[in-house]
Amino acid sequence: MQGDKRSVEWSKLTDRALRRIAEKVDHYDHLAFALVCRRFREALGRVANQNVRTDLRRESLVEVRPSFSTRWYRWAYETVGQRDEECGALLARVAAFQGNKEALGYLAENVG
């Protein structure tokens, strides 16, 4: 709601509330959710019952088409891709698969 002054104190959410939120996180967003903070990562780990990872294999992408924003690609590249050339190339592949020209342009300028 525009002009709404309410705010959420995320640190005061109960473990149960965090688990319920984590249950709704799409598997494409597991890594981003887990990188927010330790409590988010722990909640997701309890719900997913596995190591946190983002599955960007072709089989997974064809199953449910991703809808990452250009801001997400920037965040992912700045967080992980700058230190990992393979990750940057993978991000570019996913952006191409998604048809996100703006993200492809950003990655083309920045990936080595």
31-74: pLDDT as tens digits: 777 777 888 888 888 877 666 666 666 666 666 666 788 898 88
* Distance of alpha carbon 44 from alpha carbon 18, whole angstroms: 8
The C-alpha R_g of the chain, in whole angstroms, comes to 16
Mean residue pLDDT across the chain: 78
pTM (2 decimals)?
A: 0.52
Whole-number pLDDT of residue 46: 81
CB 36 within 8 A of CB 14: no
- Counting residues of the chain whose pLDDT is more than 70, the rounded percentage is 74
pLDDT for 1 beyond 50: no
111 shares its domain with 69: yes
Average pLDDT over residues 63-88: 79
Amino acid in the structure at residue 76: A
Q: Which whole-number Å values give the CA distances from 107 to 1, 8, 14, 77, in the listed order?
A: 33, 33, 38, 8
For the chain, how many structural domains are there in total?
A: 2
Q: Is residue 2 part of a domain?
A: no
- Same domain, yes or no, for 51 and 75? no
Q: Which domain holds residue 48?
A: 14-55
